[in-house]
Amino acid sequence: MRYLTDRKRAERKGASGTGTEHHWYMSVSAVALAFLIPTFLYVFGHALGQGRAEVVATFGHPFGAILTGLVLFVSMQHFAKGAQMMIEDYTQGSWRRGLVMLVYSLAYVITATGLYALVKMAM
């Protein structure tokens, strides 16, 4: 028998244990990306197809480097949490935990690799 009352279990932060934190993060990062993405699409699309010297000049420049770094970090966090939502909808148990870990790892690897490339080009 459980001694917690129904009211006590439903109170505060709900089934997730984190309340609306996840949803709120998605909203905040969505607004940030709404500002970042249009400019980034231009910078990336314009650089794609050019020679290495032009590419390094674009992403080594403070504007290109900071913009791309921001896009990488914010979008990969947004992706990890978004993919987590999908995984939690369609899977259960060990699959759910494993896939969430995998998706967060992938997001971190992409972020770290991209940031390393940016630092190297900016040097």
The DSSP code for 4 is: S
What is the size of the binding site for another protein (CB under 8 A)?
A: 42
Q: Among 66, 86, 101, 102, which residue sits at the site for another protein (rule: CB under 8 A)?
A: 86
Q: Contact between 121 and another protein (CB under 8 A)? A: yes
Distance CA 5, CA 10 (A): 9
What DSSP line would sit under 22-59, residue for residue? HHHHHHHHHHHHHHHHHHHHHHHHHHTTS-HHHHHHHH
Q: Among 11, 16, 18, 30, which residue sits at the site for another protein (rule: CB under 8 A)?
A: 30
Residues that bind another protein (CB under 8 A): 1-2, 5-6, 27, 30-31, 33-34, 37, 41-42, 44-46, 48-49, 52, 55-56, 59, 68, 72, 75-76, 79, 82-83, 86, 89-92, 106, 110, 113-114, 116-118, 120-121
